[in-house]
Amino acid sequence: MTINQSAIHSDIAIPPGEYLEEIIEELGMTKEELARRMDRPAPKLSRIFKGEKAITPDTAIQFEKVLGVPAHIWIGLEAEYRLIIARDQEEKGRRQLMDEGHLIARYRYNDLVKIGQLPKYNQTIEKVAALQRFFGVTSLNTIPELSRYRAAFRGKSHENRTRSPHALSAWLRLGEKRANLMACSPFKKKDLRRLLPELRRMSRQHPETFIEDLRYKMAETGIAWMIVPVLPKINAYGAAFWIRRDKAVLMMTLQSEWADEFWHRLFHGIGHFLLHKPQMIFIEDENPITEHPVFEAEADRFAADTLIPPKEYAQFLQEGDFCPDAILRFADRIEIDAGIVVERLQQDKWIEPSEKDHLRARYDWRSFPERDVMGPSFSSASPQNQPLRITPLP
């Protein structure tokens, strides 16, 4: 076979090593003899024969001297081979992107575009690629196997028609990405426990007063606390998990205007961090996603007893006076919002559902600029030994 006049072009990826074998066979030369003539180790040439190692310009010049085939022919064959492989890989990648197109809607691409998390594209492959970058994966099919999102695809999430595990995964990813932008002190249980009385007192304030301070105080204890926009079909009002052993994430939505529910859910999430192992992920709604329902009961009890200490609550119940003035006096005495007391009395059936609801505060989140509710976050550039500085969330 003679190939010393022109390069060979093909749509099939043929390693130059195959042509090399034909040339030395025509010349009656063995691979071992070729290696000796080139003063090269035989194993290295073996990799060229198999297409595992590229023909470099130095090697091409040696082939020219030993075999009489110009160096530029070998370089051309090698370039053509690598180009065909690259095109094959590109086509394979395009096919993969197209194959994952059915997941675009499931992972709420359009909703992520609306809240500014993804750019707006028109082509399927562009949308899939954007979702892959958002999740930090090479294939959307791997997401259910990742530990951070596995809970969303487990058990009741499949049985619950109002919840999409794909949408829930996208929502969890929103929290994960935002938490990575928030600077927090290393998590310490003792710091968090010391903060609890101050958090209880915040319940008596308006969100305009406490929202930024709450975010800052939580970060000082090692918790990236955030309000995250609701995505359709997540059917969740909160999530608690860890991104490192010293950094926790507490996500909340604003699906309720009742102030007491906001504070109960906040303390419920805190309970998970104080009571349960960092490896666990808790997704909260009326039917929490967890393999250990007892942990949800423990977090609920923690929230109830921390907001209203059992000893004081027992004494209040014993007095038996649940008129508005008595509730307000009791709330003042334990330094907590009166609506939390009312909601507890309703839950424990000491008063009728909706009774005394006029004492329960409502938060009108619509009156807040989105930036004030959803972020800012803490600057990731803040030194750990300096007070944390608050900067807008991108």
**Per-residue model confidence as pLDDT tens digits over 179-235:** 999 999 999 999 999 999 999 999 999 888 898 999 999 999 999 999 988 888 888
Global pTM reads 0.73
The H or E element that residue 40 is part of is none
Q: Is residue 288 over pLDDT 70?
A: no
Q: Is residue 381 over pLDDT 80?
A: no
Nearest to 200 by CA among 324, 301, 107, 336: 336
- pLDDT: is 288 or 173 the higher one? 173
Write out the DSSP string of 140-184.
Answer: GGGGGGSHHHHGGGSTHHHH-TT--HHHHHHHHHHHHHHHHHS--
Beta strand 247-252 pairing with 223-227:
parallel
Q: Is residue 343 over pLDDT 50?
A: yes
Buried b (16+ CB within 10 A) or exposed e, 96-108: bbeebeebbebbb
Whether residue 152 contacts residue 289, with contact meaning beta carbons closer than 8 Å, is answered with yes
Whether residue 252 contacts residue 265, with contact meaning beta carbons closer than 8 Å, is answered with yes
Facing residues of 247 across strands? 244
Q: Is residue 281 over pLDDT 50?
A: yes
* Chain-centre distance for alpha carbon 289: 17
| Residues whose CB is less than 8 angstroms from the CB of residue 175 and which lie 6 or more positions away in sequence, other chains included | 226, 228, 239, 249, 251
Tally the C-alpha atoms within 13 A of residue 299's C-alpha that lie toward its C-beta.
Answer: 28
Is the Cα torsion angle 240, 229, 340, 286 positive or negative in sign?
Answer: negative
Q: Which two tokens stand for residue 244?
A: 């490192």
Nearest to 146 by CA among 127, 161, 168, 124: 168
Mean pLDDT of the chain: 85
Nearest to 250 by CA among 348, 308, 184: 184
Helix axes 338-347, 293-307, angle to 10 degrees: 130
CA 18, CA 24: separation in Å to the nearest integer? Answer: 10
Average pLDDT over residues 28-32: 90
Looking at the chain, the domain(s) classified CATH 1.10.260.40 span: 16-99
Nearest to 266 by CA among 225, 297, 236, 305: 225
Whats the size of the chain, residue-wise? 394
Please give the pLDDT value at position 293: 80
Q: Tokens 């104080």 belong to which residue? A: 274
Nearest to 144 by CA among 157, 133, 161, 128: 157
Cα distances (Å, whole numbers) of residue 302 to 25, 154, 191, 241: 81, 26, 17, 17
How confident is the model over 93-129, as pLDDT tens digits? 788 889 999 999 999 999 999 988 999 999 999 999 9
Please give the pLDDT value at position 255: 77
Looking at domain 16-99, its CATH superfamily turns out to be lambda repressor-like DNA-binding domains (1.10.260.40)
Under the banding of pLDDT at 50, 70 and 90, the label for residue 4 is very low
Tally the C-alpha atoms within 13 A of residue 72's C-alpha that lie toward its C-beta.
Answer: 3
